[in-house]
Homo-oligomer: A and B are copies of this chain.
């Protein structure tokens, strides 16, 4: 029965750690044969916006490192890392050593595995974005009704 084994993920956050968690769950579910839809909304639209990944030639890892060096959330993240027992420097080398999968790698992997990408039209209107502003990997432009139609038959629905 279609839908029994399907996953929907609302990608609301534009933070890299949450985006990576979303892609990790999405690609794993797809590789297990589940139907997966990622619904990008609000700050999450940034993930599938044209140019985000290429911006300034920075890799997401550099982006994350930049966040750690910044104030605000960056400081928070660093403090959390310290809580986990690793200083900033050792964390950087660990991330290089263990080679954290980057969004540039996970996004095409998700597409190859058949993950469906939907960009939220309500958020697009709010932010003044148009279909042409998004990467070609976006399969559909739709609102909350489309999302709810999918989620109501989904077995796992997450808001990240």
Contacts and interface: CB of A to CB of B under 8 A. Distances in A.
Interface string A30-72: 0010100000011101100101100100000000000000111
A25 B126 CA distance: 16
A16 to B, nearest CB: 11
Q: How many of these chains are in the complex?
A: 3
Given A5-B152, A91-B127, A152-B155, 7 more contacts: A17-B43, A21-B42, A72-B73, A85-B133, A86-B128, A95-B126, A156-B157
Contacts of A55: 83
B160 A156 contact: no
Contacts of A41: 21
A148 interface: yes
Interface of A: 5, 7, 10, 12, 14, 17-18, 21, 24-25, 28-29, 32, 34, 41-43, 45-46, 49, 51-52, 55, 70-73, 75-76, 79-81, 83-86, 90-91, 94-95, 97-98, 100, 122, 125-129, 133, 143-145, 147-149, 151-160
A34 to B, nearest CB: 7
Given A76-B72, A86-B127, A156 B145 contact: no
Contacts of A153: 155
B148 A152 contact: no
Nearest to A148: B29
Contacts of A84: 14, 43, 45-46, 49, 127, 129
A13 B121 CA distance: 23
